[in-house]
Amino acid sequence: MNKFVGKHVVIAALAVLAGYAASAQAADVVGNAKAGQGKVAMCIGCHGIPEYRTAYPEVFRVPKIGGQNQAYLENALHAYKKGDRHFDTMHAIAVSLSDQDIADIAAYYAAQTAASKNNPDK
Ligand code: HEC
């Protein structure tokens, strides 16, 4: 009897947790491009350089993210954060960002065009 109840309590708890996680994800985190502008200083060093190549610790290509689709950028950052997408430096950076930071930064980069003022050409 106790075992039976215990099992159901666990299942109920898991269901609640799953529901919570789902609603936490859906909780509309709205990106603000203006706020994002103040959060990209650490990105420009890599993403804003000509040819999009870093020199340290080794030369590798850095993707252009300015003007990229907002949802795509958000997904990419969440993927680096969770470890679904692997790249050490991007993972290190992404884990330091909150969901709001990610939304803001994605909004900022998505709003960039070649003609944007202060466009570090990323
Ligand atoms: C140390 C250099 C470096 C810094 C700093 C850096 N990035 Fe990156 N980023 C990269 C590299 C290299 C890649 C490509 C990694 C790969 O192949 O997955 C990348 C990939 C990305 C991608 C995926 C692009 C795509 O086309 O899929 C996004 C989005 C991104 N970075 C956003 C950012 C943001 C936002 C910041 C600042 C908060 C930042 N990065 C800081 C080097 C950097």
Nearest CA to ligand 1 atom 39: 43
If asked whether residues 94 and 110 sit together in one domain, one would say: yes
If asked whether residues 107 and 59 sit together in one domain, one would say: yes
If asked whether residues 71 and 91 sit together in one domain, one would say: yes
- Whole domain around residue 5: which residue ranges? 1-28
If asked whether residues 63 and 116 sit together in one domain, one would say: yes
CA of 63 to the centre of ligand 1 (A): 7
Q: What is the CATH number of the domain that holds 54?
A: 1.10.760.10
Spans of the chain, pLDDT less than 50: 14, 17, 20-26, 51-53, 57, 121-122
Confidence at residue 82, expressed as pLDDT on a 0 to 100 scale:
97
Rounded Cα distance between 12 and 120, Å, is 50
Specify whether the CB–CB gap between 108 and 73 falls below 8 A. Answer: no
105 touches ligand 1 (CB under 6 Å): yes
If asked whether residues 57 and 89 sit together in one domain, one would say: yes
State the total domains in the chain.
2
If asked whether residues 52 and 5 sit together in one domain, one would say: no
77 touches ligand 1 (CB under 6 Å): yes
pTM for this entry:
0.75
Confidence at residue 113, expressed as pLDDT on a 0 to 100 scale:
75
